Amino acid sequence: MLATLADEHFSDPDWLYERKFDGVRAIVVRRDGRTELYSRNEKDMTGTYPELVQALDAQDLPDLVADGEVVAFDDGRTSFARLQARLGLSDPRRARETGVPVYLYLFDLLVLGDADLTAVPLRGRKRVLRRLVRWDDPIRFAAHRNGDGERYLEYACAHGWEGLIAKRADSRYRPGRTTDWLKFKCVRDQEFVIGGWTDPAGSRIGLGALLVGYHPAEGDGRLRYAGKVGTGFTRSTLQSLQKRFSGLGREDSPFDSPVRERGAHWLEPDLVAQVGFTEWTRDGRLRHPRYLGLREDKSAAEVVREG
């Protein structure tokens, strides 16, 4: 179940307000005493976060399916950039050797034993989840506030959070994007499709900037150009991106209108990057964009402009 970006914020006693995490969505599947973790696009993440799996395996839990988010912290704030060291790793030993501590915040319960809970109102699902799990680190409950969304958003923004997720308290769990869950953002960032890159200048290695875009609508084959992203890279990030680009090159631009950037190289539009920015310009370009990392948990076809 996915949230829709909301430009207007509100308080309502019929809604719950949860912290918006800057992490990776995770589906927990418990079968016969064993735990597996999957991304929202069904990639196996069990080996990527072995300490989370171990912590859940140590609990006497029934079979279940739960929804949550894996996070890492940087100076007290959840940081998608810190998780980059873990992404793509399937060897538990290598994942632990990154030295990046991770936590799992659970916020929903879809299945318990043989019972499908998706038709149960959200408030009831969260109540069952809270009583079911032993909340010891690194497993945490995603707490919520009732009703007072605007004041909670002020608190969230003042403390450097990503924002809030507002959820209709009586909503059922429906896969896909919905207006029963809304995103209230403190910062501007979203996913973009990487359609190309430019040559590096000066002492920079690998690439100069990423050329990114989005689809007018989910599943739309067209790719709109949103601009170039030339900051937010480390030396190792630049080297890693060049490796990921191997085999994705193409002769023509994947964007639906001419892109006139010097030294441009084109890519099959398969990779998705998280990008922070200050605002959209009038001509539909990103102002002051910065690279935050690759998203392994979202397909390019899903990437649309959020606001």
- Rounded (5°) CA angle 239-52-84: 15
* pLDDT attached to residue 219: 75
Report the candidate in 28, 63, 60, 64 with the shortest Cα–Cα distance to residue 45: 28
* pLDDT attached to residue 88: 85
**Residue 70 and residue 72: Cα distance in Å, rounded?**
7
- Give the phi and the psi of residue 288 in degrees, each rounded to 5: 50, 50
* pLDDT attached to residue 212: 98
The answer to whether 215 and 254 are in contact (CB under 8 A) is: no
- The catalytic position among 20, 167, 185, 298 is 20
Q: How many CA atoms within 13 Å lie on the side-chain side of 116?
A: 5
CATH for 2-183, options being 3.30.470.30, 3.30.70.3270, 1.10.1740.10, 3.40.50.11540:
3.30.470.30
**Residue 117 and residue 173: Cα distance in Å, rounded?**
8
CA 85 to chain CA centroid, nearest Å: 15
Q: Which residues contact 244 (CB under 8 A, 6 or more apart)?
A: 271, 294
Whether cis (ω within 30° of 0) applies to the bond prior to 138 is yes
Q: Which DSSP string corresponds to 142-204?
A: --EEES-HHHHHHHHHHTT--EEEEEETT----SSEEEEEEEEESS-EEEEEEEEEE---TT-
* pLDDT attached to residue 206: 84
Residues 189-302: name the CATH superfamily: Nucleic acid-binding proteins (2.40.50.140)
**Residue 266 and residue 253: Cα distance in Å, rounded?**
5
Catalytic annotation present for 20: yes
Q: Is the pLDDT of residue 172 over 80?
A: yes
Helix (H, G, I), strand (E, B) or coil at 286: strand
Q: Is the pLDDT of residue 170 over 80?
A: yes
Average pLDDT of the residues in 190-217: 92
Q: Give the domain ranges of the chain.
A: 2-183, 189-302
* Residues 67-92: tens digit of each pLDDT: 999 999 998 899 998 999 998 899 99
Q: Is the pLDDT of residue 220 over 80?
A: no
CA Rg value for the chain: 20
* Residues 252-283: tens digit of each pLDDT: 999 999 999 999 999 999 999 999 998 899 89
Q: Is the pLDDT of residue 204 over 90?
A: no
* pLDDT attached to residue 66: 98
